[in-house]
Copies of this chain bind each other. A is one copy, B any other.
């Protein structure tokens, strides 16, 4: 536990969310208020921005714009997908990071991301320590996938889940509007965890949900899927809504979506398209019904207009807590949420060793998956419903979002 004085560096990594910038706002606003933090830097495109000395002096920004980051989707500083090698294999990047940290007197490092980013964060933390450069390193979690180990839930999940639940309710009404049959297949993100797909069950709890929900936690069987859809159609006037995770896998572990690459069109061009495109084609052939495939695509992770106030506030606070922890001498930890016991939803902010958070995927508990692998239990709804609560006060101009506009003044030494 070392109390340090010097500059801090914050970087964003991995796929963005509609609230990832709320963490940035929390880190920046808290760091700018800390006496022991002499400069506040924000890296362009994550770790790459540090390696190339492309980072911004956040002290030059207007406080009002930093506040607006709470309501601004995507990674305001730019993101990156860059996995550091083990330092024992190749320490080139680490040496360069150390050089930059020394050059700018960086004594605090905050990395905002998912599993891979926590791994990166952990590696940097270990390297700095072993190099004798005092630097407190804290991971700030984010992922719509909700698959980080050691935290009740992940910043970003509540807002994405709210998008999925709300949109499934709206699509449910639209997809039932005609007196003719329609199978609607909706594809949701989440990689190898079914958390976000499960959010369709929140719509079910309001009576306007999906007939079938398929998570990656359950091996996917194409024949069973076709029969499931047929069964629903038979009972339900040839109407069926199925929500599938992008990460569903066959029993042999192969992704269902990997079949898509082979498709070509008239011009001989490869056809793009995800799992829902593939399944839509199969259901159309096997049932003869009209089928509509819908990908929630980027919208599920960038629809800040539908963010959960709870998520935004927690995510902002997670950023502040990261800074407070680092200043108080903590290092090599990730901020996490612990849900308090009791009926009323409340969380505490805790710290978890980074090595526990890194590279472990938390999936949906098997006992919450019911209806022969096509539904979620009330336990899931009780878990997830508090996370989507409240509407934000995101400002609008001309009834369109007013997102943060940063000056992005490059730091100089």
Complex contact B177–A78 (CB within 8 A): yes
Complex contact A270–B294 (CB within 8 A): no
Of A18, A271, A302, A398, most buried by chain B (CB within 10 Å of CB) is A271
CB under 8 Å from chain B, chain A span 159-190: 162, 165-167, 169-171, 173-179, 184
Q: How far is the CA of A400 from the CA of B236 in the complex (A)?
A: 25
Interface size of A by CB at 8 A reads 79
Q: Mark A300-318, 1 if CB is under 8 A from B, else 0.
A: 0111111010000000000
With beta carbons under 8 angstroms apart, the residue of B278, B293, B304 that contacts A170 is B304
With beta carbons under 8 angstroms apart, the residue of B75, B177, B400 that contacts A16 is B177
Tell which of A28-36, A88-96, A127-135, A382-390 binds the partner: A382-390
Q: How far is the CA of A174 from the CA of B303 in the complex (A)?
A: 10
Complex contact A179–B80 (CB within 8 A): yes
Complex contact B271–A170 (CB within 8 A): no
Q: Is A208 part of the binding interface, using a Cβ–Cβ cutoff of 8 Å?
A: yes
Q: How far is the CA of A51 from the CA of B269 in the complex (A)?
A: 47
Kindly list chain B residues whose C-beta atoms are within 8 Å of the C-beta of A401. Answer: 166, 169-170, 206
Complex contact B272–A173 (CB within 8 A): no
Q: Is A102 part of the binding interface, using a Cβ–Cβ cutoff of 8 Å?
A: no
Complex contact A299–B299 (CB within 8 A): yes
Q: How far is the CA of A282 from the CA of B268 in the complex (A)?
A: 9
Q: Is A339 part of the binding interface, using a Cβ–Cβ cutoff of 8 Å?
A: no
Kindly list chain B residues whose C-beta atoms are within 8 Å of the C-beta of A80. Answer: 178-179
Tell which of A2-10, A256-264, A355-363 binds the partner: A256-264
With beta carbons under 8 angstroms apart, the residue of B72, B291, B398 that contacts A272 is B291
Q: How far is the CA of A303 from the CA of B300 in the complex (A)?
A: 13
With beta carbons under 8 angstroms apart, the residue of B78, B79, B273, B303 that contacts A273 is B273
Complex contact B295–A295 (CB within 8 A): yes
- A203-B400, A294-B295 known; A78 and B178 CB under 8 Å? yes
With beta carbons under 8 angstroms apart, the residue of B178, B298, B398 that contacts A45 is B178
List the B residue with the shortest CB-CB distance to A387.
Answer: B399
Kindly list chain B residues whose C-beta atoms are within 8 Å of the C-beta of A273. Answer: 271, 273, 277, 293
Complex contact A302–B263 (CB within 8 A): no
- Other than the given A206-B397, A271-B273, A388-B400, 6 more pairs (CB < 8 A) read A167-B299, A170-B304, A264-B264, A270-B284, A272-B293, A294-B295
Q: Enumerate 26 A-B pairs (CB-CB under 8 Å) in ascending A order.
A: A16-B174, A45-B179, A48-B179, A73-B173, A74-B176, A74-B177, A75-B177, A78-B179, A79-B178, A80-B178, A80-B179, A81-B178, A162-B400, A167-B303, A171-B299, A208-B403, A259-B266, A259-B267, A263-B264, A263-B271, A269-B281, A272-B281, A272-B284, A273-B293, A299-B299, A391-B399
